[in-house]
Amino acid sequence: MSKAVGIDLGTTYSLIATMQGSEPVIIPVAEGGRHLPSAVALTKGGERVVGDLAKRQAVLNHENTVHGIKRLMGCRYSEKTVDTDVKRLLYNVVEGDEDNIKVIMGGRSYAPQEISAMILRRLRMDAEAYLGERVTDAVITVPAYFNDSQRQATKDAGTIAGFNVLRICSEPTAAALAYGLHKEEGRVIAVYDLGGGTFDLCILEAGGGSFRVKATNGDTHLGGSDFDDRIVKWMCDAFQKESGVDLRQDKMALQRVRDAAEKAKHELSSLEETEVNLPYIISDNSGPKHLVMPVAREQIERLVADLITETLNCCQRALVDARLRPEQVDEVLLVGGCTRMPKVQEEVRKFFGSEPRRGIDPDEAVALGAAIYAGMLSGEVTDIALMDVTPLTLGVRTVGNVATPIIPRSTVIPTSQSRSFSTATDMQRSIEILVYQGESKIFDANRLLGCFNLNNLPPEPAGSVKVEVNFAIDENGILNVSAINKNTGTAREITIKASSGLEEATLIRMAQDLESRENAYAVLRQADKLLKAFEERASTGLGEKLEQQTLVLKEAMQGEDINAIWTGLHDLAETAAKIEPLVEKNSNGNGNKKANGKLSG
Ligand code: AMP
C-alpha cells in the first residue's frame, strides 16, 4: 500500500506532509525548503517550471506565469471575483465563456484544475523522491467557505495529478486536528488564519468526534501581500522624496523592493529594528543610486494597523453569526505566516481576551493536520475518528423563486436526505429541478449548482404528481442529486454533478496530458545536457538523430496529440540511452586527463 499524504494546497505556498510513526512531518520539497510556491510558468526557453523557479522568473515573464490559481478554482468566468483576480494575480492571462475559465500560458489554454494539478504533481514527485516509494493516496485541504464546485475542482486537480484523493478536508478542521482538539468535547475553537493572500476566520465546535463549523468569515483579498504593498509604497515614497526617482516605474527595481519589504517584515517579527540595503537599485543621469533605510517594527505596525483591524471586524461578524461573545471562545488557533507578527498576536489576544494557542508552526498546521487525517483514512492512525460537516445549505428552487433547503449546513457527512415535491399546475408534463448552495431564502441570491428536467409526467391535476428528490453528499462534501417520479410506478432516476466537475473522460485526458508533457520536459532536459557533452556527435550520427528527435518531440508538444508526445519522448529517450554511456566514458577519460595534467604540473 502506498504512503498516504496530506496536502495544504495554498494560494501562495503549498505543503505536503505524511505520518512518520505517530507524528505528522512536513516533507521537504526538491529545492530543500519546506514549502513550494504555488506558481507555475512556461519559461522563455519553453520549459514548464513549478515552484521557486516559476516565482523567480515571474517579473520578466509575467504573461507566462500563473500564481494564485486557487482563487479561480471552481469559479465561473461570469463571477465577479474573477475580474479582480485577473488584474491582481493573473495579469492578462484569463479567458473563458459563461462557465469556463481558461488560463493562458505559452499560447495554450488550461483549466484552473490543470494548473493546480501541476503543483500537486510536483509535490507528489518530491514526496516520492523523499520517501522512496510511490505516493498516491492524499487528503487535500480547502478553505471552509469553499462551495461544492470549488471542492470538486480541487478533487479533480488531485486526480489529474495522479492522486487517489481520499478526502477534501476544510483547512480549519485540519488545523484543529493538528492541535489534537478533536479529543475535546463541546469546546468552541476559533481558527484565525492570516496567510499570504487571504484571511479566514472559522469558528468550530468540537464534539462527538467531529468539528462543526458554526460560522466562517474572512476576506479573500486581505493577506501578507497587502502588508507588503503598504511597506513597498512607504519605501518608494521615501526614496522618491529623497532622490526624486520613482522606483515604481522600474519593474526590476520594484521587484527588489518588494522582496526586501517582505524580508524586513519577517525580520521585524523577531527584531525591533532592521535595515533595508539595496545597492545600485537604479541609476539616472547623476549615476547609480542605492536604497538604504532603517525600518522599525513600530513603523510597519503603523502601516498595517487598519488591515489588522479589518481582520478583527471579520472575527466580530463571525461571532455575531455564531451568536457568541469573544470570551465564549475556548481556544484560538493561529494559522498562516502573518500570525508570526507580534502585533497580530497582540490584537487577537486583546480581541478574544485569551492567549492564542501557538506551538505548531503557523505555516504548517494545516498540512500536518491533513497528514493526520490521511493517516486516519489509510489506517495508520487508529485512535482518532473524525466526521466532517457540509459547510453550506443545499436545496432546490420551488415556486416563487424560493430556496427550499434539503440538507442544512453543518450536517455531518456523508449524508443522504430526500424530500417530496408535487406539480404546481394542472396538466404539468415536466418539472425543472434547480439545485442551489447557500444560505439565502431567495433562490437567485444563492449559487446555482446545476439543473435537470423530469419529463413525460402523466397529465394530472396540480399537486397529484409526486417527485422525490434525493441529495447525497459523499465524504468529500461532493453532492449527487437524483429525482424519482413516484407516480409512474416505474421509478426514473437522474443524477447530476456540480457544474465544475469535469467529465471522467476529460479528467483522464488531462491526467495523460500532464504526465506525458512532464515526462517530455524531463527527457528534453536530459537530451539537451547530453548533446552539449557529446564530443563524438558528428562521427556516430547519434547526435544528429538526437537533435532531429528533439525537434519532433517539441513539435508534438505544440499540438494536442498525446500519443504523438509519448512516441516522440520514447524515441528520444531511446537515443539518449545509447549516447549516455558514450558521454560517461568520455567524461571519465577527460577527468583522468585533467587529473594527470594537474599532477604532472
Ligand atoms: P502562508 O500563506 O500561510 O504561507 O503565509 C504567507 C505569508 O506570511 C506571506 O505574506 C509571508 O510574508 C508571511 N510571513 C511568513 N513569515 C513571516 C514572519 N516571520 N513575519 C511576518 N510575516 C511572515
Residue with cell 513549478: 50
- The band of 89, judged by pLDDT with boundaries at 50, 70 and 90, is low
Active-site choice (171, 205, 262, 347):
171
Task: Give distance in angstroms: CA of 336 to centre of ligand 1.
Answer: 7
**How confident is the model at residue 321, as a pLDDT?**
84
Nearest ligand 1 atom to the CA of 10 is 2
Does residue 67 contact residue 12 with C-beta atoms inside 8 Å? yes
| Res 495: pLDDT | 54
Is 363's C-beta closer than 6 angstroms to any atom of ligand 1? yes
pLDDT of residue 501 exceeding 70: no
Average pLDDT estimate for 41-49: 88
Q: Which three cell numbers stand for residue 10?
A: 495554498
Q: What percent of the chain is predicted at pLDDT more than 70? A: 90
End-to-end CA distance of the chain: 58
**Cell 473563458 maps to which residue?**
96
583 Cα distance to chain centroid: 41
Alpha carbon nearest to ligand 1 atom 3, residue: 336
**What single-letter amino acid sits at 35?**
H
H or E stretch at 8: strand 3-9
- Would you call 331 a catalytic residue per the annotation? no
In the numeric block, which cell numbers belong to residue 195? Answer: 496567510
**For range 202-217, the mean pLDDT:** 82
Fill in the amino acid letter for 490. Answer: T
Percent over 90 (pLDDT), the chain? 53
Q: Would the CB of 265 count as within 6 Å of ligand 1?
A: yes
| Amino acid occupying residue 129 | A
Q: Is 427 left (phi over 0), alpha (psi -120 to 50) or beta?
A: left
pLDDT of residue 595: 34
Between the alpha carbon of residue 357 and those of residues 99, 181, 333, 339, 340, the distances in Å are 42, 11, 5, 11, 12
Instruction: State the pLDDT confidence band at 75, using cuts at 50, 70 and 90.
Output: confident
Q: Which of 65, 28, 69 is nearest to 47 (CA)?
A: 65
Say if ligand 1 is within 6 A of residue 182 CB.
no
Q: What residue's CA is closest to ligand 1, atom 16?
A: 337
Tell me whether residue 468 is one of the annotated catalytic residues: no
Contact by Cβ (8 Å): 86, 68: no
Rounded to an integer, what distance in angstroms lies between the CA atom of residue 252 and that of residue 235?
A: 15
CA pair distance 182, 208, nearest whole angstrom = 9
Catalytic residue among 3, 55, 70, 214: 70
Question: Where does residue 459 rank: exposed (0-12), middle (13-18), buried (19+ CB within 10 A)?
Answer: exposed
Phi then psi for 9, rounded to 5 degrees?
Answer: -90, 95
Summary mean pLDDT of the chain = 87
CA–CA dist 479, 498 (Å, integer): 7
Residue 455 C-alpha to ligand 1 middle, in angstroms?
54
- Write down the pLDDT at residue 86: 52
What the block records as the C-alpha cell of 563 is: 500519443
Averaged pLDDT, 546-559: 94
Three cell numbers, residue 600: 604532472
Any atom of ligand 1 within 6 Å of the Cβ of 543? no
What count of other Cβ atoms lies within 10 Å of the Cβ of residue 262?
18
pLDDT band at 142 (very low <50, low <70, confident <90, very high): very high
Q: What is the pLDDT of residues 326-338, one digit of tens each?
A: 999 999 999 999 9
Per mean pLDDT, which range of 309-318, 322-331, 455-464 is the poorest?
455-464
Helical axes 171-178 vs 365-378, angle rounded to 10°? 80
Distance (angstroms) between ligand 1 centre and the Cα of 254 equals 20
Pairing outcome for strands 164-170 and 447-454: unpaired
Mind listing the pLDDT tens digit for each residue in 228-282? 999 999 999 999 999 999 999 998 899 899 999 999 999 999 999 999 999 999 9
Q: How far is the CA of 38 from the centre of ligand 1 (A)?
A: 14
The pLDDT, as a whole number, for residue 592 is: 44
CB 155 within 8 A of CB 165: yes
Structure confidence by residue, pLDDT tens digits, 376-421: 999 888 777 777 777 788 999 998 889 999 998 777 788 999 999 9
pLDDT at 1: 62
CB-ligand 1 contact for 68 (6 Å cutoff): no
Task: Give CB contacts under 8 A, 24+ apart, made by 342-348.
Answer: 342/269, 342/297, 343/297, 343/301, 343/304, 343/305, 343/308, 344/194, 344/308, 344/311, 347/308, 347/309, 347/311, 347/312, 348/192, 348/312, 348/315
Q: Whose CA is nearest to atom 22 of ligand 1?
A: 338
70 assigned to active site: yes
pLDDT of residue 14: 97
Instruction: Return the pLDDT at 392.
Output: 80
pLDDT at 438 over 90: no
Q: What distance in Å separates the CA atoms of residue 360 and residue 349, rounded to the nearest whole number? A: 17
Q: For 101-123, what is each residue's pLDDT tens digit?
A: 888 888 888 999 999 999 999 99
Q: What is the mean pLDDT of residues 8-17?
A: 95
pLDDT at 591: 47
Task: Please tell me if the CB atom of residue 143 comes closer than 6 angstroms to any atom of ligand 1.
Answer: no
Angle at 445 between CA 502 and CA 395, to 5 degrees: 60
**In the predicted model, is pLDDT for residue 201 greater than 70?**
yes
Burial of 355 (0-12, 13-18, 19+ CB in 10 A): exposed
Cell numbers placing 555:
513539435
Of 113 and 67, the one with more pLDDT? 113
Q: Which DSSP string corresponds to 473-501? A: E-TTS-EEEEEEESSSSS---EEE--TTS
Confidence check: pLDDT of 562 > 80: yes
Q: Which atom of ligand 1 is nearest to the CA of 262?
A: 12
CA of 262 to the centre of ligand 1 (A): 8
Question: Quick check: 105 and 40 in contact, CB under 8 A?
Answer: yes
3-state secondary structure of 518: helix
| Virtual torsion, Cα 361, 367, 372, 375, nearest 10 deg | -150
Asked if residue 414 has a cis previous peptide bond (ω within 30° of 0), the answer is: yes
**Cross-strand bridge partners of residue 170:** 142
31 C-alpha to center of ligand 1: Å? 19
Q: Is 269 in the pocket of ligand 1 (CB under 6 A)?
A: yes
**According to the model, what pLDDT value does residue 81 have?**
59
Ligand 1 midpoint to CA 29 (Å): 18
pTM across the whole model:
0.83
Q: How would you write 44-99 as a 3-class SS string?
A: CCCCEEECHHHHHCCCCCHHHEEECHHHHCCCCCCCHHHHHHHHHCCCCCEEECCC
Catalytic choice (3, 8, 289, 380): 8
Strand partners, 13: 37
Active site residue 8: yes
**What is the pLDDT at residue 361?**
94
